[in-house]
Amino acid sequence: MKYSVYLRRLQEDKNHRIIVKRLASDLGIDFSQAEISVHRLPLLLLHGATEEESDRLVFDYERLGCDVEKRADKESVTEKPKAEPPLPTAASPAPVKTESATPPTLPPRPSRSSSRIPPARFPLHRRPLAGLVTLAAIGIALTLFLFANKKSLSVPRMDRSIVDKVLQADRETIPDRKIALLKKALSEQPQMKALKRRLSTVYSGKAASTSEQERRIRFYQLAISFNPHNRMAWDGLEVSLEEADRMPEADSVRQAKQETLGDDKRNLGKLFSELPGLEGMPSIANDTLRLSYRSESKDSLVQAYEALLLAEEIRDYRDFQTIEIKMTTPNGVIFRRF
């Protein structure tokens, strides 16, 4: 029997960001499309899946605070057993099979991804962002390592294999010793701040999209180690530890989060003062952030990516329901909403 899984309702607002990232990964769409989808429920998550696959997906979304429904597909419910051929009798001798000269054609083998919804095709300016974040991180790392001065290269020495392992965020485990070495090197180069934030965002996304509990906890810990102000990573780590019944650790994380993040308003003010391109002071009303940003690029694709990355970086500090960006470009003024 085959099953379909539907997302009915989001019950936990605090996990909204994590749920949207998980949807983007499962459906093969970009973050903005997933954000729109959660406001158009019910949403088909899986179709034609086995009972084990559907139960696993239902469990993953219910632990994030979602109302999920599993249905048996109509084809599998109404399927009737095939009639047995009549047995030969004395009056009707059994038919004799004749072998054909041409071999019979076999039906095509179902692909492993047949139970998943095929990824949507988008225009160039709306392709998924996950690859861009990783490419941006790799580009920044390579540029800075190629053109860094002798002092930054010698204290301490940078092992390229360490950087490669960190950028490939799908690895299961990375030794703490190597992580510590990389963090020390990054902390001694102020220009690597952008790379650390990108790495933190990559790990947060990987944690939200994995169903393995221990691996998810590890990814959230790594995201926080690169960017202690990544609120989504703190919230995800706290929830994951509670689900694993590791309550003392969850309480410690909750306290550390409060001590690190403190007041949202003060932390956002610090972030805004560090972001280049902002014009004036952003305004906040009804969980909606409005800001003005100047882009030097004339390419509309680059402008769209700049706005997306800016929204991602702000939501690392606070998960606003809506972010509205007024972009002043060489081509004129455009508006973006996330």
Q: Rounded CA gap, 18 and 20, in Å?
A: 6
Query: Residue ranges per domain, the chain?
Result: 3-77, 129-262, 275-337
Classify domain 3-77 by CATH architecture. 2-Layer Sandwich (3.30)
User: What's the one-letter identity of residue 273?
Assistant: S
User: Per-residue pLDDT averaged across 145-158, rounded?
Assistant: 36
User: Per-residue pLDDT averaged across 246-264, rounded?
Assistant: 82
pLDDT at 267: 63
Q: Is the pLDDT of residue 87 over 80?
A: no
What's the pLDDT tens digit per position in 198-233? 777 788 878 877 778 888 898 898 888 888 878 788
Is residue 141 within 8 A of residue 148, CB to CB? The reply is no
pLDDT at 211: 78
Question: Rounded to the nearest 5°, which phi and psi values hold at 265?
Answer: -65, -45
Question: Rounded to the nearest 5°, which phi and psi values hold at 54?
Answer: -65, -40
Fold of the 129-262 domain: 1.25.40
Same fold yes or no, 3-77 and 129-262: no
What's the pLDDT tens digit per position in 169-182? 444 455 566 556 65
Query: Helix or strand or coil: residue 16?
Result: helix
Q: Model's pTM, two decimal places?
A: 0.34
**Which of 217-221, 267-271, 301-305 shows the lowest per-residue confidence on average (mean pLDDT)?**
267-271
pLDDT at 2: 86
Other CB atoms within 10 Å distance of the CB of residue 90: 5
